[in-house]
Every structure is written in C-alpha cells, then in structure tokens.
Chains A and B, each alone.
Chain A
Amino acid sequence: MPEDGESLQTVEDEMLIARFKAGEQEAFDRLMAAHMDQVFGLAWSVLHDREDALDATQEVFIKLHAAFPRFGSASNLSGWLYRVCLNHCIDVKRRARNAGCELTEEEWDRLRGSDRDDPGWSAMNKELRQAIRQAVDQLPPRQRAAFVLRHYEFMSLQETAEVMGCTVGAVKAHLSRATAHLRSRLAGYVGVAVGEV
C-alpha cells in the first residue's frame, strides 16, 4: 500500500473513531466497510476457506467494537486488525485440527462451488491447490503468520514485525524457515508446476 494511501486511511480512521466515540454508530459501519477487504483477505490467506474467512471477519469486527472504548489512536488500527485476525484464524485452525472433522476438497467444492474462489486458484490443479493449502496450514504458527503477512498482505518486514510483536530479524528468520518448509513439502510440484504456471 503506498505511503500516501496509508496516511489518508489513517486520517480517515481517526476521524471515524472520534465520531464513533461521540456516539455516531454509522462511523463504525464506515470503518467496517473500509477494512473489510483487508481483514477478509488475511483470514482467507490463513484459513483458505471462504466461509471460515467470512466468519473470522465478523468476529474481528465484533472484537473491534468491544475494544473501541480502550482504543487509543487510529494509527495502529490496521496493525490491530491484522493481529487480532491472525490470532483468531490460528485459533480456528487449531480447533479444526483438534476436532479432526475437516472435509475433503471435493466435499468443500460440492458445498460452496469452487467458482466463487479467485480465478487464479480455481484454474490451478486441484491436487496442487490442496497441496499448497496443506503445506501452508502445516507451518508452525509464527512461520505461517510471517509468510501470510508478507506473501498475501504485501507487508514490509517492519509492518510484519509490528503485527507479530517481534523484531525484524525474527521476522526474517521466520520467513526463511517458512520458505524452506514450503520448498520441502512442495518439492514434488515445483519442477512440473513452474513450467505450467
């Protein structure tokens, strides 16, 4: 996101937060509309499921509404949303893994229709798509967070470090380990898929 866009978004966020604290409920609707794509995209990047990502988006905005009375400035609103969304999605993945009732890719496709996903993902081989999702899901939480924020959200190392609450050097280490893990898990697809893609 360009620097000017960030500053404009921050100014608008500050104005909307002030109006909401003054009792104007519509300000919260506008905040939701402004950050909904960002939160949904991050949730989908972690969960790789459209319905789960929608649920996570709703949960994050409900938490944001509850946290507004003790919310300071709007400068860290995006970071707060990323952090809360990331933690929530990791919890969702952990609960789903403990429950052990995940549906197969074919069952999900029958339920929701794969044409609703992004065309880039829909055009991929189903087996490769499932392999990528499983490889990302099997990453340790810190490595997955670093990879998702950098790969899908295009965040810089500094922004990723702020969201994760660690140093830039730690983010570099997590990101390098994540790419190494993905490389080892997707080794069988790299030579074939690279040529196709």
Chain B
Amino acid sequence: MGGCRQIAGLFGGYIYGDLTPDEMREVRLHLDECPGCRTELEAQTRTVELIPRDRPSLSDEERQQVMWTVKGALRSLRLVAPFRFSPGVAQGFAVAALLIAAFAAGTMLGMRGKPAAQTVVVKPEPVDIEHRALPPPNSGATTADRSAGPAITVPSAPRHVTTAAGPRRRDRIAPVWRGHLGPRRAPGPKLSPAAGTPEGTERGPEPLKTDSPGEALPNLQTPAAPPLERPSERGDRAAPDRGPILTPPKTQPVKIPG
C-alpha cells in the first residue's frame, strides 16, 4: 500500500474512472485507513462536479461565419503565394536593380561634368610667332623670307666645327651654337689637354687611337668659343641660331550661361 502522496497522485484518475483495477483497489484500501485522504478526495470530487461539462455550441450563423472567414483567408493566401520570390528570381531582381542604379549614377555624374546648355566652341587664336633671332648664317633664310609667310624656320642642325684632328673629334667640342644655353647647364669639367681627361671625372673619354703607333696625337685644344653674351649686351649681333619663340595661345574665358 502506497503512502498518502502516492495515492493523491491517483485521485484525478479515480474521479474520472480512468484507473486500472489494481490502482482502484489500492486507492480504496488506503482511503479505508486514511480519513485525511478520504476528505481530500471528497472535496476534489465536489469541485469537479461543480464545473459544468457542457459547452456552448455553435449556431448556424457562427458556422457560416467561420467557414467564410477561413475561405477568405485561404483565398488571400493563394493570391499572395504566386508572388513569392524564389531565390533565382530574387537574384535576378537584385542584379537588375544594381544595373539600373549604376546606369542612373553614371547618367547623373555625366550631367554634373557638362553644362546643361549648348556646347561652346572655342576657337583658338592663331599662334603668334615672334622672330627674335636672325637666321643662322648657313640657313639661307633672310629676314624678308621670314616675314613673307607663316612658315616657321626650324633651327638648323648644329654646325660642325672642324678641328685639327679632323671630324672624328667633333663630339668633344662644345657646339658653339649652344652658347646661349650656358646658364641653364651645369659647368662641365675642365679639359686637361695634357691628360686628355676632364678633371673631376673618374673615367674620361677613351684616348684617341691613331693608325700608326708612333704618330703624335694632334693638339686637342679646341678653338676658343665665343664668349657668352646676355641678350641685352648682344645688340644687333646675332646669336647664331635661336629658334622662334612660341607664345602660348591665349584662351578666351568661356562664359557659361546661367
């Protein structure tokens, strides 16, 4: 025979008649000996009997109401269901949206860089060529020739200076015609006639080789270059071949309407 706690766990089934025969007998034996459990079971039985077991029933109107409400809800769900996005369709829409956004952004950026009004055609002014120098002596051009047409006389090639050693030494001779570029160039090393190597350089030009071993080297001293002159000191003296000075074209300011 179980204790009061164990028997109390069977009271629910006892009230509703759901216990097995063995359980029913066990409860009855305990109730015969335990007045407390007997009182408790009587109180629980009264409580359960107090609660009505009948329930309200649906009227015909409520039945119809439930039927139509459920049908309407299902119909709306069926209408919505075909528009549910599958993953592939959703990705397609996302790509299309990105493309549209990129196209719109590009269009707006292009409109920001250009004026919205008409295109302004700017005509460049003709190049003003100012001849400041006389043509080199061997160019053959004259002042009259230069003023006759728009042709620009290109400075002639550097003139060769003939030295005693012949034309093979011309690369070592400072071109005379570059004299006006002197201030823009760093002073070159001084030539040492005896050694043939410029001072301040580690490796000078290779010594000249002659055909015959005993032949003395020619005098490498170059003829004296003409002294550098400032343009103001030059006067009418011509700097040999100074090319035309090109003045950059003047641009007209563009007036943007609005």
- Chain A interface residues (CB < 8 Å from chain B): 29, 32-33, 36-37, 40-41, 44-45, 50, 54, 57-58, 61-62, 65-66, 116-118, 120-121, 124, 128, 132, 136, 146, 150-152, 154, 156-157, 172-180, 182-183, 186-187, 189-190, 193-194, 197
Contacts and interface: CB of A to CB of B under 8 A. Distances in A.
Interface stretch (B9-17, B150-158, B171-179): B9-17
Contacts of A121: 52, 54, 56
Contacts of A180: 8, 11, 40, 44
A175 B15 CA distance: 10
Interface of B: 8-13, 15-16, 18-19, 40, 43-44, 46-58, 62-63, 65-67, 69-71, 73-74, 77
Contacts of A40: 57-58, 66
Contact of B43 (A116, A146, A187): A187
Contacts of B66: 32, 36, 40, 54, 57-58, 61
Given A176-B13, A194-B50, 8 more contacts: A58-B69, A62-B70, A120-B52, A146-B12, A150-B18, A151-B53, A172-B13, A190-B43
A182 B51 contact: yes
Contacts of A178: 12
A194 B8 CA distance: 22
Nearest to B43: A183
A157 B13 contact: yes
A136 B66 CA distance: 26
A45 B50 contact: no
B51 A29 contact: no
Contacts of A118: 52, 54-57
Given A50-B56, A151-B53, A29 B67 contact: yes
Contacts of A177: 12
Contacts of A62: 70, 73-74, 77
A86 B46 CA distance: 26
Contacts of A41: 55, 57
B132 to A, nearest CB: 96
A58 B70 contact: yes
A197 B50 contact: yes
Contacts of B63: 33, 36
A50 B10 CA distance: 33
B180 to A, nearest CB: 97
Given A32-B70, A172-B12, A183 B47 contact: yes
A172 B46 CA distance: 19
A132 B51 contact: yes
Greatest chain A CB density within 10 A among B13, B40, B55, B77 is at B55
A181 to B, nearest CB: 10
Of all A-B residue pairs in the complex, the 5 with the closest CB atoms, nearest first, are: A175-B12, A176-B12, A118-B56, A120-B52, A183-B47
A172 B9 CA distance: 7
Given A33-B67, A150-B16, A194-B49, A58 B73 contact: yes
